[in-house]
Each structure stands twice: as C-alpha cells, then as structure tokens.
Chain A
Amino acid sequence: MGRRKRLAQTQSGAEGMVSLPALLHRNATQFGNVPAYREKEFGIWQCWTWAEAAAEIRAIALGFLELGIEKGDHIAVIGRNRPAHYWSMVAAQMVGAVPVPLYQDSVAEEMAYVLEHCGAKYVVCGDQEQVDKVVEIQENLHQVKHILYTDKRGMRKYDHAQMNALDDIKAEGSAGHARFDAELDKRIGALTYDDTCVMLYTSGTTGKPKGVVLSNRNVIESAKNSAEFDHLTRNEDILSYLPMAWVGDFIFSIGQAYWCGFCVNCPESADTMMTDLREIGPTYFFAPPRVFETQLTNVMIRMEDAGKLKQRMFHHFMAHAKKVGGQLLDGKPVGFGDRVKYALGNMLVYGPLKDTLGYGRFRVGYTAGEAIGPEIFDFYRSLGINLKQLYGQTEATVFITVQPDGEVRADTVGVPAPDVELKIDETGEIHYRSPGVFVEYFKNPDSTASTKDAEGWVATGDAGFIEESSGHLRIIDRAKDVGKMADGSMFAPKYVENKLKFYPDILEVVLFGNGKDRCVAFINIDLTAVGNWAERNNVAYGSYQELTAHPQVLETIKSHVEEVNKSVAADEMLSGCQVHRFVVLHKELDADDGEMTRTRKVRRGFVEEKFSDIIAALYDGSETVSTTTEVTYEDGRKGSISATLKIVDAPVVAAVQHKVAAE
C-alpha cells in the first residue's frame, strides 16, 4: 500500500470504519443473523448473532454510563475467555473508556502493580476468585470505584456498596436507555481512528510490565492486512482459549473477528478446552507450540496402547504422510501413486486423527511465541493441516513476519507481513516499522523513546538475519541473551535449549555459559511424558522430585544431551555451546515463583540468581549439590523444598576445527 493511500485513510479509517463499535454496527446491520459468539454452558453451545451481541454490548455500555464511567477511564477486565468479557471491552470502547485485559492467573501483588499503574477505576472480574484479589489490592490502593463480576456464585455475602453483577448493570442500563441513548451515541460518534483501542501489559522477561497503548488504527489496520493475507472470511470459526490479556487473543478474537465478521467460540472451562476444540473444529486456529506438543505427545501415548493392527496402520501411513504430505500441502508436484496412497491414508488414518484432534475443518493456523520442534511442525503439516509460523510482538499489534502459503518451513518465521518494513542493524537486532506500531508505553516516555525512534522504527530486542535464498527471517535469540564465551565464540542459549526441548521428555531448559569457557544447563522433565514412561516400565516414584532424581531418567536425559551436543558441534558458529554438565531440577520452573513470565518464557536473570548455588556446583566439578528452594503455592502461601541434586557430565564432541578465514 502506498504512502498516499495510507495518508488518505488517516481521517476515514479502513473502509470508513474508525473503531470497533463502528465495525460492530456494520456487522449487526449487514449480517445481523449470522453467529458472532458461542459459549458452551450447561453442556450446550449457546449462540449469539451479531445483532444479539450488538444489543448485549449496547446494554452493557448503557450500564457503564449509568455507573458514571467517563471518557478516558481505564476499565480492567480479568477473567477467562467469555463472551461477556469481550463484550465488556467493546462496551468500554463505546463509552470512550480504555479496556485493559489482565492475566487472570496473576497473583494479587502482580495485579496490584498493573492496576495502580493504569489507574483503573472500574474492574470487570470473572468470578469470586478475581474479586477477592481486587478487594485485597483495594485495601492499599483505594482507587477502584466499582467492581463488576460475571459469575454470581459465592458473591451473595459481599458488601455490594461498590460491587455489582455485570448482568444487573446491563439490566439497569437497558431500563434506563431513554436517559442515556443520546449520550452513548454521542460518545460512539466521537471515537476517532487515533483514539486508544486497548491497553495491553507485556509480561516482560525483565523488569516491571509495561502498558502498550494500541490505537484503533493499529488494531484495525493489522486485522485488515492479516485477514487479507490469509483470505479470512465471515465463515471462519475460531476457538478463543488463550489469555485475554495477550495481544494475540485481542487481535484474533476481537480485531479480526470484527473486521471479518467471523464467529468467536468460548470453551466451557479451561479443563474442557480439548473437548471443545473437537466439537467446534475451528477453521482458523492459533496456539503456542506447547499445545501442539501436548497433543502430539497424547496421540503417541494413546497409539502405544492401541491394538497391533492399528499401530501398524498408523505408523505405515504416517511414514507416507511424512514423505509427501508436506509437499501436497505446498502444492508441489507429487506422483500419482503417492497421491492415491495419501488419499487412502486420509480415509483410514489422517482424517479420523484430524477429527479427533479437532482439526477436521482446519484451513489456516499459526503457532508463535516460541520455536516449534521441526518434527512436531512436520507431523501436523504432513497430515494436511496448514500450520504456519509467524513472528510478532505486542508493540507491533502482533504481525511482523508471516509465512505465506506454500513457503512454510520449521526454521524460519516468514516474510514481512503486509505493510511491514524490516531492517537488521549492525548488531544483528531486528527493527520494524508498520501501521501496527504501538502509540506509546503508558506513562513511560523513557521506555517509549528507547524502543521506538522518531521515524517510527521499533527495536524488537531479538537478533536474527534474513536468509538470502528465500527472503525469510530467521530468529537466533533474544539480542540481550546472545553473548560470547570466554574464547570469543558465540553464545546463543535459545538455539541449544530449543533443540533439547524438542524431546518430549524435556519440558524446559536453561543454558548458562555467557563469558565462561563451557556451557552448563538446567533441565525440567515433562511429567506427562516421563510419568507415562515410568508407568509403562514399572518405575515407581512418589513425587515429581523423586522422578527427577531417578537414575534411569537421568540416563535418558543424558542421551538426549549427547545427541544435541553432536548436532550443535556440527554448527561451526555455535559449537562452543555444547552442554558439558547438567542437572535435572527438582521443581518445575513456574510463573508463580517468578521464574517464568505469564506467557511461560524463562526469566533468565532471575533463575540465574535464584539458583546460583546450583550453577556454582555445575562449574566447580562437584558431583552433587544440596539446595533449598522457596516455592509459592497457587493460593499465594509460601513454602520451601530441599533436595540433593545429582550433577551429570555429558559427553561433548570436540569442536569442528574453525575454518580459518582468508587471512
């Protein structure tokens, strides 16, 4: 799109649509009887059409006016994916307020910081648990004027002076519509393309969360471009199950859903997600690699319990799919015989399997956030599931690069998304500029200035390079995590960690070695996979901790590390990153303990400090290390666990002789 056209849009928005309420109005009038939201409740999928949803949202907005919500107020939304929560956000926009979705699994003190920082006077809570947290925070904060809640259970005994059920507010709003209609229409009419659409807090692997301000322009332009890129239509069905506070969910479940007019399906509860996925069979799907990994692990575990004939059939046809499935999906030429065999496999294995997984209608889908294992990625693609990768950030309103159909690979993240300009600076850091570039960090001009320059270029903090042969971007690691070993060779922890994490037994890895002469690692085992293995092999264990210390487990992990070392040694640039010694940690790294972000990324610095005694032992050559670790339970109580960990030496491969450059 040319700059002239972009300027022309400044006033009118995309196709005259300047805000989400405007898009809602368009959808409700143009195709009002098409399903807009579904939610499974009491075992049945309840459905709302666009016209019904618009009525619900308007009623909530009227209720907000009755509460006295002003233009520019911040309204925090804390809860699981439910239509009522999405509606509250759009209703907030209608009255000129700014919705701020928060992570519902944050503990009270994390939430306190964000609530105080955005100055939210109104909070929409999903249930009693969230209300309790806000009430606790309110004891010190005294800024919240009114709490609204969606689930009435257990709420009867609370003091309702500053509290109401969202349903009641909605009813009051509807009843008083004659008084507020004019004001509401005035406020909707006053919304501009550059007004704030939403504020999202980034979890941040370092420091305090930052409030990313996204305008209507950011959200609508990004939704429009990405929808056109993947030819999304009104007929898509998506399953909304990822945290509402995450930018991806906002774009998929609100931005694109409103732009295209497709249907947002909300699961019954977090535990039923897999069943609901199967019932809905989304056509457009988004999941972090973890979801695909878990599903694949479950498939493999269940296949091991299947009958001999089924097992043979499964393995036979999966081998064939691996050979030709990906090529068929990419539209490359495949022989007639192979096509026939693939069709047969589709009838006997792939089709039923896709149906079981909930991918029977899967048209296009993405995985992002972390690198996905090539085997996992290829497994899904070979089944004919059009899974692709993208690279994005909250600050970019998700999209930086995306993989076009037919150019999908496990090791790249694609080409620049429509309207995105990309450049790599001399240190290898990736920068971008696009219509999706955020407005600012809320109340944080210093950070804004250090991230976004005057010309609108944003530094991603990731190091990468553009592959010359294909024009695709490849990510190496977080720029600040890339370091140098003592001998000056490159230290890129993510590269090695990902290779290890691709083994189903391994859940998480943290590699250390910056500035040192060799690398050492922490490893978390995957309880599902290892527990299943233990059960099948009659290995008795009493707890997670006991399982992590089992000699056979350590032996298996050691063999994985050995294989990875071999493959790392083959890469001349990174051969110094081989794992010399490792421990299997006695506890899972957890966001509740601050070791990970809420989006499950390891906080490297924090982990390094917290477990400094173990790291010291890894380097000083001791065979075991005794340690005591503080843990936080889900209800916020603290306790501690002690353990003696065995340190394992892993075989390393002598580094390939560094090619001497022409000197």
Chain B
Amino acid sequence: MMLDNSEGYVTDDGRKIGAVVMEMKNITLRFGGVVAIKDISFDIREGEIRAIIGPNGAGKSSMLNVISGFYVPQEGEVWFHGAKRPQMRPFEVAQQGIARTFQNIALFEGMSVLDNVMTGRLSFMKTNILQQALWKGKAEAEENENREAVEKIIDFLEIQHIRKTPVSRLPYGLKKRVELARALAAEPKLLLLDEPMAGMNVEEKEDMSRFILDVNDEFGTTIALIEHDMGVVMDLSDRVVVMDYGRKIGDGTPDEVRNNQEVIDAYLGVSHD
C-alpha cells in the first residue's frame, strides 16, 4: 500500500482510494477544564474505511461528534471537500452528505422498520405538510420514489422479513442493522458508525462486517467508524487512527498500528518496574 500521495492509493484488495475528503487540522476540544481531544490531525480519503480506536475514555466518540459537526472544537479546523467547514446545524450536515449511527441505538421504537428507514429520506422530501395531508400528485409520487429507494436498502441489508415489525420488538443486533439502513437511506457520501458491533455476538459481528464492506464496495461510500473490537477493526479498515487520553498515538495501516509500541502499551498497559 502506498501512502501520502495526494492522488490517493490502491488497497491490498485492489480498491482505488481517492483524494482527501475530510481533513482534521490540529483539533482541540474542551469541556470546561476537561480536555477531550488534544491537538489531533488526520484525514479521511474518498472510498476508504477509516477507523478510530482507543481504550475507554480516549475521546473517540467526541472525535466522531466533531466530524459530524455536532461538537465545535475550540481550536483547529475541519476541512470538508477542500473548504473550511463553518459551524453548522444538524440538517445542514445531513445535506452535505454525512449520515451516522449511534452507539446507543436511537430509533423510533414504536414505529415500524420501514417507517424508521423512511425517516432517513427526509432530506429528499420536498412537499409540504399540506400536500402530504392531501396526498395528491406530487406527494404520492415523491413517497413512491423514496419508498423504492428504501426498499432497495431493505433488500441490501436483508431485513425484508421485519419490514412491518415495530422496532421495539426487535433484538439488539437487528436494531443495529435498521439503524444502518436509516443512515444509508440518506445516501451519504460519508458514513459515520459509532461502535457498530458493540454488544453483538460473533455471528452478528460477522454479518455486520460483511454489510459494512458491501456498503463500501457497492455504493463507494466513505466510512469512518469507531470500534472497540480490535479484531474487527483490523480486518475491516484501510487505515486506523489510535487515540489515548485525547491524544493521537498512532495513525496508519492496521499492520503499522499493530506494531506501534505506543499503541501496544496503551492497550496492554506498561509495567512499572
């Protein structure tokens, strides 16, 4: 694998990774006196699967929230598609083509899977409330169009059998998949996954890994993910950022990171004698 080439690189399995889509420059994020992120810089390239890992409390989720625009760092700049990103409201972030899933599932529990995934299409709906209520012409056509897009995602993630099931009745692993479906419904260019495998058994993890790879492969979606499970991260990602106590202690391919002494120390601990 070649790195540090502004034109991108080619992965071991032959995928072409493009130019930088998002760049974090010297990000520092503080909550009062607590420094969550300290002077971190890294980039995300088009079409790659980029992982952020680190022990508990390392600042991974904060970092993801900075990427998604939910937190605004006190210092540093976020560059997106070659322009410095201003402070944005959540729907503006969504319109830019960024979608995410949450560590603690955030679905509408009482609604069916189909309706939940349909909410992911919100930014594609242009008709107003009155048109929707009358259900004439434009509103109906729009619903059909969006339903079709949603059905393709349902098919892709193999959740046809629970299409009409209320989310509250689903097991955890399937809820995670529904959340991914909703994020995909927004047709994101950059997909942020916050611990997509947390709390899953081995089989569910394998399924989820396959879906993440397939999303990246089929739709060319750039994916940034946070994950605890080292095995999964190393198998999935093209490049990995390692954080510890808010600092970046490693950045590179899974192999480089695995052999980085500082990373090993952070994960396994250092003897004090």
Interface residues, chain A, CB within 8 Å of chain B?
A: 41-44, 153-154, 156-157, 268-269, 271-272, 275
* Among listed B53-61, B90-98, B123-131, B147-155, interface-contacting one: B147-155
Is the CB–CB distance between B13 and A272 below 8 Å? no
Given A42-B148, A42-B152, A42-B155, answer yes or no on A153-B160 (Cβ-Cβ < 8 Å): no
Count residues on chain B whose CB falls below 8 Å from chain A CBs: 16
Find the residue from A42, A157, A272 having the highest chain B CB count within 10 A.
A42
Closest to A275 in B: B161
CA of A281 to CA of B207 in the docked complex: distance in angstroms? 33
Given A154-B214, A157-B14, A157-B217, answer yes or no on A272-B161 (Cβ-Cβ < 8 Å): yes
Q: Cβ of B163 < 8 Å from any Cβ of A?
A: yes
Closest to A44 in B: B151
Closest to A41 in B: B155
Is the CB–CB distance between B151 and A43 below 8 Å? yes
Q: B152 contacts which chain A residues (CB < 8 A)?
A: 42
Is the CB–CB distance between B158 and A154 below 8 Å? no
Q: Cβ of B71 < 8 Å from any Cβ of A?
A: no
16 more contacts with CB within 8 A, not counting A42-B148, A43-B147, are: A41-B155, A42-B152, A42-B154, A43-B154, A43-B160, A43-B163, A44-B151, A154-B214, A154-B218, A157-B13, A157-B217, A269-B158, A271-B161, A272-B160, A272-B161, A275-B161
Q: B163 contacts which chain A residues (CB < 8 A)?
A: 43
Q: A157 contacts which chain B residues (CB < 8 A)?
A: 13-14, 217
Q: B156 contacts which chain A residues (CB < 8 A)?
A: 153
Given A269-B161, A275-B161, answer yes or no on A153-B214 (Cβ-Cβ < 8 Å): yes
Closest to A151 in B: B155
Is the CB–CB distance between B160 and A269 below 8 Å? yes
CA of A42 to CA of B145 in the docked complex: distance in angstroms? 12
Q: B147 contacts which chain A residues (CB < 8 A)?
A: 43
Closest to B147 in A: A43
Q: A153 contacts which chain B residues (CB < 8 A)?
A: 156, 214, 218
CA of A272 to CA of B161 in the docked complex: distance in angstroms? 5
**Of the candidates A154, A156, A271, which one forms a contact with B160 in the assembled complex, judged by CB atoms under 8 Å apart?**
A271
Is the CB–CB distance between B160 and A268 below 8 Å? yes
CA of A478 to CA of B160 in the docked complex: distance in angstroms? 40
Shortest CB distance A342–B (Å): 33
Shortest CB distance A620–B (Å): 38
20 contacts between A and B (CB under 8 A): A41-B155, A42-B154, A43-B147, A43-B151, A43-B154, A43-B163, A44-B151, A153-B156, A153-B214, A153-B218, A154-B214, A154-B217, A154-B218, A157-B14, A157-B217, A268-B160, A269-B158, A271-B161, A272-B160, A272-B161
CA of A275 to CA of B160 in the docked complex: distance in angstroms? 10
Question: When each residue 41-76 of chain B gets 1 if its CB lies under 8 Å from chain A and 0 otherwise, what string results?
Answer: 000000000000000000000000000000000000
Closest to A635 in B: B206
Shortest CB distance A531–B (Å): 14
CA of A143 to CA of B130 in the docked complex: distance in angstroms? 64
Shortest CB distance A265–B (Å): 15
Closest to A270 in B: B161
Q: A272 contacts which chain B residues (CB < 8 A)?
A: 160-161
CA of A42 to CA of B153 in the docked complex: distance in angstroms? 9
CA of A156 to CA of B151 in the docked complex: distance in angstroms? 22
Q: B13 contacts which chain A residues (CB < 8 A)?
A: 157
CA of A268 to CA of B163 in the docked complex: distance in angstroms? 12
Shortest CB distance B243–A (Å): 32
Closest to B154 in A: A43
Q: A41 contacts which chain B residues (CB < 8 A)?
A: 155
Find the residue from A43, A153, A156, A271 having the highest chain B CB count within 10 A.
A43
Q: B151 contacts which chain A residues (CB < 8 A)?
A: 42-44
CA of A268 to CA of B161 in the docked complex: distance in angstroms? 9
Q: Across chains A and B, which 3 residue pairs bring their CB atoms closest together, nearest first?
A: A271-B161, A42-B151, A43-B151
Would you list which residues of chain B between 214 and 233 have a CB under 8 Å from chain A?
214, 217-218
Would you list which residues of chain B between 148 and 178 have a CB under 8 Å from chain A?
148, 151-152, 154-156, 158, 160-161, 163
Shortest CB distance B147–A (Å): 7
Shortest CB distance A417–B (Å): 37
Shortest CB distance B142–A (Å): 17
CA of A606 to CA of B81 in the docked complex: distance in angstroms? 63
Shortest CB distance B200–A (Å): 16
Q: B161 contacts which chain A residues (CB < 8 A)?
A: 269, 271-272, 275
Q: B14 contacts which chain A residues (CB < 8 A)?
A: 157
Q: A154 contacts which chain B residues (CB < 8 A)?
A: 214, 217-218
Would you list which residues of chain B between 92 and 141 have a CB under 8 Å from chain A?
none
Find the residue from B13, B161, B163 having the highest chain A CB count within 10 A.
B161
Closest to A268 in B: B160
CA of A269 to CA of B156 in the docked complex: distance in angstroms? 12
Question: When each residue 179-217 of chain B gets 1 if its CB lies under 8 Å from chain A and 0 otherwise, what string results?
Answer: 000000000000000000000000000000000001001
Q: B160 contacts which chain A residues (CB < 8 A)?
A: 43, 268-269, 271-272
Q: B218 contacts which chain A residues (CB < 8 A)?
A: 153-154, 156
Shortest CB distance A356–B (Å): 14
Q: A269 contacts which chain B residues (CB < 8 A)?
A: 158, 160-161
CA of A268 to CA of B160 in the docked complex: distance in angstroms? 8
Shortest CB distance B151–A (Å): 4
Shortest CB distance B72–A (Å): 39
Shortest CB distance A133–B (Å): 16
CA of A275 to CA of B13 in the docked complex: distance in angstroms? 40
Closest to A269 in B: B160
CA of A44 to CA of B114 in the docked complex: distance in angstroms? 14
CA of A154 to CA of B13 in the docked complex: distance in angstroms? 13
Closest to B155 in A: A42
Closest to A156 in B: B217
Shortest CB distance A487–B (Å): 50
CA of A309 to CA of B155 in the docked complex: distance in angstroms? 40
CA of A342 to CA of B117 in the docked complex: distance in angstroms? 45
CA of A42 to CA of B158 in the docked complex: distance in angstroms? 11
Shortest CB distance B22–A (Å): 25
Closest to A633 in B: B203
Closest to B149 in A: A42
Q: A271 contacts which chain B residues (CB < 8 A)?
A: 160-161
CA of A213 to CA of B163 in the docked complex: distance in angstroms? 42
Shortest CB distance A475–B (Å): 36
Shortest CB distance A188–B (Å): 35
Shortest CB distance A610–B (Å): 25
CA of A316 to CA of B217 in the docked complex: distance in angstroms? 57
Shortest CB distance A132–B (Å): 12
CA of A406 to CA of B151 in the docked complex: distance in angstroms? 45
CA of A408 to CA of B117 in the docked complex: distance in angstroms? 48
Closest to B148 in A: A42
Q: A43 contacts which chain B residues (CB < 8 A)?
A: 147, 151, 154, 160, 163
CA of A157 to CA of B14 in the docked complex: distance in angstroms? 8
Closest to A634 in B: B203
CA of A272 to CA of B158 in the docked complex: distance in angstroms? 10
CA of A44 to CA of B152 in the docked complex: distance in angstroms? 11
Would you list which residues of chain B between 9 and 58 have a CB under 8 Å from chain A?
13-14
CA of A64 to CA of B158 in the docked complex: distance in angstroms? 31
CA of A384 to CA of B158 in the docked complex: distance in angstroms? 36
Shortest CB distance B174–A (Å): 11
Closest to B151 in A: A42
CA of A157 to CA of B12 in the docked complex: distance in angstroms? 12
CA of A41 to CA of B147 in the docked complex: distance in angstroms? 13
Shortest CB distance B205–A (Å): 13
CA of A272 to CA of B159 in the docked complex: distance in angstroms? 9
Closest to A274 in B: B161
CA of A352 to CA of B166 in the docked complex: distance in angstroms? 23
Q: A42 contacts which chain B residues (CB < 8 A)?
A: 148, 151-152, 154-155
Closest to B13 in A: A157
Shortest CB distance B235–A (Å): 15
Q: A44 contacts which chain B residues (CB < 8 A)?
A: 151
CA of A109 to CA of B147 in the docked complex: distance in angstroms? 42
CA of A154 to CA of B218 in the docked complex: distance in angstroms? 7
Q: A268 contacts which chain B residues (CB < 8 A)?
A: 160
